[in-house]
């Protein structure tokens, strides 16, 4: 009878076990879809969003790096231009200062030369005045010592002195040789003026 009962069942027709397995599968699928898939999907979406954010951050960083590099190049260019302008300005200032110092030195040299010329003219005038005052007495004294007698004629000594001073003004030569010739002329003139008196 058992053999007959087993043979009487058709395996193509679902039985209670099939429905139990089907219900269990639906429950498991529902549990998986309700509690397991959403966290996994959320984690995958968050991971994808992080990847996209990282991509955007990298692109933004690259853009900032390019901007910073461009700014750096601009700053370097401005610094080079500013350094070049400062160097040119310093060279121009140095040239101006050198020209100003050279002009000032030339002015000081010219002023010193003019002052020296004025002092020389003053000394020459003073020496000429002293010579005009002292030369007649000196020439007379020298002539008296040479001749051994007194010379009383002042006109000859005065004319000798004036001619000597005129020779100094015209020639500008040394006073030693001129004074010697003048003294000699003075002594000759003195002797010439005194000899008729004695005779």
Return the top range by mean pLDDT from 44-53, 112-121, 135-144, 176-185.
44-53
Dihedral of CA atoms 43, 47, 49, 52 in degrees, nearest 10, equals -170
Q: Are 125 and 159 in contact (CB under 8 A)?
A: no
Q: Would you give the DSSP letter of residue 11? A: T
CA count, 13 A, side-chain hemisphere, 157:
20
What pLDDT is recorded for position 19? Answer: 84
19-75 tens-digit pLDDT: 888 899 999 999 998 899 999 999 999 999 999 999 999 999 999 999 999 999 999
Alpha carbon distance 49, 178 (integer Å): 120
What pLDDT is recorded for position 134? Answer: 76
- The distance between the two most distant Cα atoms of the chain, rounded to a whole number of Å, is 216
Predicted TM-score (pTM) of this structure: 0.35
């Amino acid at each position: 009878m058992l053999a007959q009962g087993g043979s009487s069942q058709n395996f193509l027709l679902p039985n209670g076990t099939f429905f139990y397995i089907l219900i269990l599968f639906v429950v498991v699928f529902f549990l998986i879809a309700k509690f397991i898939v959403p966290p996994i999907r959320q984690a995958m979406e968050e991971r994808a969003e992080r990847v996209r954010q990282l991509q955007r951050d990298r692109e933004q960083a690259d853009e900032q790096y390019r901007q910073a590099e461009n700014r750096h190049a601009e700053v370097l260019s401005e610094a080079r231009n500013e350094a070049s302008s400062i160097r040119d300005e310093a060279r121009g200032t140095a040239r101006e200062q050198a020209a100003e110092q050279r002009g000032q030195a030339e002015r000081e040299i010219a002023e010193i030369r003019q002052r020296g010329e004025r002092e020389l003219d003053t000394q020459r005038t003073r020496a000429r005045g002293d010579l005009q005052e002292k030369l007649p007495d000196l020439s007379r004294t020298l002539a008296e010592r040479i001749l051994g007698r007194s010379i009383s004629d002042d006109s000859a000594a005065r004319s000798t002195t004036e001619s000597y001073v005129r020779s100094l003004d015209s020639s500008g030569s040394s006073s030693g040789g001129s004074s010697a010739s003048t003294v000699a002329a003075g002594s000759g003139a003195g002797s010439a003026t005194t000899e008729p008196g004695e005779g």
